[in-house]
Every structure is written in structure tokens, then in C-alpha cells.
Structure 1
Amino acid sequence: MENDRILSKLNRIEKYIIGLKDILNTDELSDYTGFKKSYIYKLVHHNLIPYSKPNGKKLFFDRKKIDIWLLSNSFKSSQEIERNALDFIVKHNKMK
């Protein structure tokens, strides 16, 4: 039981450290994003994810570009949509 707690904490520390690295390999990217390696290879094959292949074999990923990619195509919450609508109405009424 105690060993499981220690291993769990070490695993969290390892994931935290990976999140601090600027350049990730496929294994690290899998840990960082939670995506399976096979899915990452599929994304690379279809050029859907930013990557680098400097030696023609091994894949590397810029964590900052991955973060931007992960947050792309975001959707607004209902509250944000309502707030934008109210702002638009107020601004439109001031112009009249």
C-alpha cells in the first residue's frame, strides 16, 4: 500500500517535470497529453500536429507549439456567449 502511494507520487512528479521541458519525444508527448502513441503517429502522418524530424527518423515536439495546438479550435462557454451578446447590444444601442 505504501509502495503504491510512493509510485503514484513519483509518477506525478515525473509528469510535472515533463511539462517543464521545451522539447518532447513521442513517449513524453504521450505522457504530457494523455494521447496514445499510435494516435500521435496518426496525427503526424496526416500532418495534423506540429512536429520536427531533424534526423529523418526520431520525432520531436515543441511543447509550446503543442500547447497552442491543444488549445486551438476552442469553444466559448454559454456565459461567454451571453456576455458577448449583452456587450454587443449595449454597444449597438449607444450608436443609435
Structure 2
Amino acid sequence: MDNEISMEQRLSRIEQLLAGQKNVLTFDEACTFTGISRTYMYKLTCGSRIPHYKPGGKNIYFDRAELER
């Protein structure tokens, strides 16, 4: 039993694998992907210093390829 991975750990691993396949990232995913804090990411988006998209003017999304550059 000690060698078994908990369901939460397995789900976390699956989420990480799926996140690596996405081309469009949410705000939180972009923060995790880049290692930038939420506060600093907000400053970058507010000043248009990082490429981002706000369809409908509410949620912020990022293109993974643009973040990698």
C-alpha cells in the first residue's frame, strides 16, 4: 500500500501532462508556465508588456508560443 500513488497525486500528474499540450493558457496556467507571480503578471498585462488576449474583456488568455519567445 505504501508504494501506491494517491488519486490526488495521479490527477496532479495528469493535469501537468495535459497542460504541456495546450496552446492557449489561462492566467493561472501562464503564471505556472512562466514562473511569474500573479501580481507581476497582472502588472505585465496591464502595461501591455506581455502578449495576452481578453476576448469579451473579462478573462485573460495567453498563447503558449508567444510566452516561449
Range into which the TM-score falls when normalised by the shorter chain: 0.7 to 0.9
Q: Report how far residue 18 of structure 1 moved.
A: 1.0
Q: Distance in 1 between matches of 2:4 and 2:29?
A: 24
Q: Which has the larger radius of gyration?
A: 1
After superposition, residues 2-81 of structure 1 pair within 5 angstroms as 10-68=11-69
The share of aligned pairs that are identical, in percent, is 35
Superposed CA RMSD:
2.3
Structure 1 residue ranges, 4+ long, deviating more than 4 angstroms after superposition:
1-10
Deviation by residue 1:41-84 (Cα, 9 ceiling, x = unmatched): 1110111100001111110101011111xxxxxxxxxxxxxxxx
| Structure with greater strand share of residues | 2
| Structure with greater helix share of residues | 1
Query: Which structure would you say has the larger RCO, counting Cα contacts within 8 Å and 6 or more residues apart?
Result: 2
TM-score (norm 2): 0.75
Q: Distance in 2 between matches of 1:30 and 1:4?
A: 27
Closer/same/farther in 2, CA of residues 12 and 55 from structure 1, 3 Å limit: same
Number of residue pairs aligned between Structure 1 and Structure 2: 68
Q: Report how far residue 9 of structure 1 moved.
A: 6.0
TM-score (norm 1): 0.57
